[in-house]
C-alpha cells in the first residue's frame, strides 16, 4: 500500500525535484515506513519467548492511534524539516489507516479499531485476506494463500494507480 500511495502522491511532483536518500526518493521510504508502523506491536511479543502474537493487532491497529501518529508526524515534519504540516499529516494518515483497514479485512481475531475508546475487536462481515497463521510455523503451505490474496490486491491496486497516474499525465 505504501508504494501505491507513493505513486499517487509522487505523480504531483516531478521525481527529479524529490529529495533522495541514496538511490531512493525520500517520499517512497517515508510512505513504505509509515505503512508498516501498525505492525510495530509485534516487537514486544518477538522479544518475549512464545508470546509472538500476544501484542500483535492490538493498540497500534487503531484508527484513533493512526490519527495521533499522523498528527505527531505532521508536527515533527513542520518543526524539524519546515515541511508542510498538512501534506505530511495527510500522507501519514492515509498510509497508516490503509494498513489498519487491510488488517480489518484479514482473517483473524479482529482489530481494535477504536482503542483507547474501547478495547473491543471489530471484524467485517466478509474477509478479503487470509492472513498469516504463525501457529503453523514460518514455512506453512497455508501462507501461500496469504501471499496470493495480498499480492493480488497490491498488484490490482498498483495497476489502478498506474492507469490513473498515466491518464492524469496525458491531460
CB 75 within 8 A of CB 140: no
pLDDT at 139: 72
Cis peptide before 116 (omega within 30 of 0): yes
State the pLDDT at residue 80.
85
- Mean pLDDT by runs of 10 across the 171 residues of the chain is 86 67 83 92 75 75 96 92 86 95 87 94 87 68 78 84 77 64
- Residue 25, φ and ψ in degrees, nearest 5: -60, 135
Instruction: Identify the burial level of 94 via C-beta atoms within 10 angstroms of its C-beta, where 0-12 means exposed, 13-18 middle and 19 or more buried.
Output: buried
In this predicted structure, what is the pLDDT of residue 122? 94
Residue 82 φ/ψ region, left for φ over 0, alpha for ψ in the -120 to 50 degree band, beta for the rest: left
Q: What distance in Å separates the CA atoms of residue 140 and residue 4, rounded to the nearest whole number? A: 28
pLDDT value at residue 96: 96
| Burial group, residue 58, by CB count within 10 angstroms (0-12, 13-18, 19+) | buried
Q: Which three cell numbers stand for residue 87?
A: 501534506
pLDDT of the residue at 31 = 93
Domain ranges of the chain: 2-129
Rounded CA gap, 83 and 91, in Å?
Answer: 12
Residue ranges in the chain assigned as alpha helix (H): 2-10, 26-36, 42-47, 63-80, 85-104, 142-170
Amino acid at each position: 500500500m505504501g508504494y501505491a500511495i507513493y505513486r499517487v502522491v509522487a505523480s504531483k511532483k516531478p521525481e527529479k525535484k524529490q529529495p533522495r536518500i541514496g538511490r531512493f526518493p525520500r517520499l517512497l521510504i517515508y510512505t513504505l515506513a509509515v505503512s508498516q508502523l501498525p505492525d510495530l506491536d509485534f516487537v514486544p511479543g518477538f522479544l518475549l519467548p512464545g508470546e509472538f502474537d500476544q501484542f500483535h493487532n492490538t493498540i497500534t491497529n487503531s484508527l484513533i492511534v493512526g490519527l495521533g501518529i499522523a498528527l505527531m508526524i505532521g508536527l515533527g515534519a513542520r518543526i524539524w524539516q519546515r515541511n508542510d504540516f498538512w501534506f505530511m499529516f495527510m500522507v501519514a494518515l492515509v498510509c497508516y489507516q490503509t494498513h489498519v483497514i487491510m488488517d480489518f479485512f484479514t482473517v483473524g481475531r479482529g482489530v481494535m479499531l477504536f482503542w483507547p475508546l474501547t478495547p473491543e475487536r471489530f471484524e467485517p462481515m466478509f474477509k478479503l485476506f487470509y492472513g498469516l497463521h504463525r501457529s503453523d510455523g514460518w514455512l506453512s503451505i497455508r501462507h501461500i494463500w496469504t501471499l496470493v490474496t495480498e499480492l493480488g490486491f497490491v498488484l490490482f491496486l498498483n495497476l489502478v494507480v498506474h492507469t490513473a497516474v498515466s491518464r492524469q499525465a496525458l491531460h
